[in-house]
Homo-oligomer: A and B are copies of this chain.
Amino acid sequence: MSTTRQLQVLQSGVEPCCPPLTERPFTAVEAERAAAMFKALGDPVRLRLFTAVASHENGEACVCDISDVGVSQPTVSHHLKKLKEAGLLTSERRGTWVFYRVEPSVLAAMSHLFAIPAT
C-alpha cells in the first residue's frame, strides 16, 4: 500500500493505537493495546476465520459463509466474539443472521505498525 493511500485511510476515521514498530520503543500502554490485537490473530482458527471474513465479498460475511474451518459452530462463534472484542471485526444483525466485517481502517492501522522507515 502506498503511503498516500495509507494516510487517506488513516485520515478517514481510524485513530492508530501506536507508531510503527521501528519508530521507538512502545510504552506499556501502547504495548497493551497492540498486543491485544496481535494476540487475537495469534490463533490459527481465529486467523482462518478472520481471513475468511476479510476476503469475502464486500469484506463482510455471516457465520453461514465462513464455517468451513473444521470446528463446531459454537467454536466459530466464540472465536468471532474474541475478534470483535479485540476490535478487529464489527458485527451487525440482519434478520436471523449476524454479519461480520473487517473495517479497512483496522487493516490500515495494522499496516501502519509494520511501516519500514525510508532508507
Query: Could you say which residues of chain B place their CB within 8 Å of the CB of A51?
Result: 21-26, 31
Query: Could you say which residues of chain B place their CB within 8 Å of the CB of A43?
Result: 35, 39
Query: A87 contacts the other chain (Cβ, under 8 Å)?
Result: no
Report yes or no: B42 in contact with A38, Cβ–Cβ below 8 A.
Answer: yes
- What number of copies of this chain does the assembly contain? 2
Q: In the docked arrangement, what's the CA distance between A21 and B96, Å?
A: 27
> A43: nearest residue on chain B (CB-CB)?
B35
Query: Could you say which residues of chain B place their CB within 8 Å of the CB of A66?
Result: 25
Chain A residues numbered 76-107 whose CB sits less than 8 Å from any CB in chain B: 102, 104, 107
Report yes or no: A22 in contact with B114, Cβ–Cβ below 8 A.
Answer: no
Query: A44 contacts the other chain (Cβ, under 8 Å)?
Result: yes
